[in-house]
Amino acid sequence: MGQVEVNMETTPQSSDRSGSSEEAGCSFMLEAVGWYGTGAIVLAYLLLSLGLLDSNGLPYQALNLSGALGIILISFKKKAYQPAVLNVVWAVIALLAIGKAVL
């Protein structure tokens, strides 16, 4: 039978985890914001497609803007730049539409 080696150095020790609960909380919040962003954009599209929202209305554009911002935050955190850039453009379009609706 072959021998199995266990590398104990890869196992984190409790002394190496300083601030890990704080980092985990921040990570959880960023994940939640990212998932909110995804949900908000999908919800906006669903409600628009069902005729429950007007594409020129503030609720539709607010969902798009807030959703895009959520995805931007998590995308930059994960260094996923393609969805970040897409959602920067998405957010700018939403801001322009909100500006048009308000003015």
Please state, in angstroms and rounded to a whole number, the distance separating the CA atoms of residues 37 and 26: 16
Q: Give the count of alpha carbons within 13 A of 86, CB side only.
A: 11
Long-range contact set of residues 50-53: C-beta below 8 Å, sequence gap at least 24: none
Q: Which residue has the tokens 């554009």?
A: 61
**70: nearest Cα among 26, 27, 28, 40:** 40
* pTM flag (> 0.85): no
Which pLDDT tens digit goes with each residue over 11-35? 444 444 555 777 777 899 999 999 9
SS3 34: helix
The predicted structure's pLDDT at residue 9 = 52
DSSP letter string over 47-88? HHHTTSS-TTSHHHHHHHHHHHHHHHHHHHHTT-HHHHHHHH
The predicted structure's pLDDT at residue 82 = 97
Q: From residue 88, give the alpha-carbon distance in Å to each of 24, 35, 69.
A: 26, 17, 8
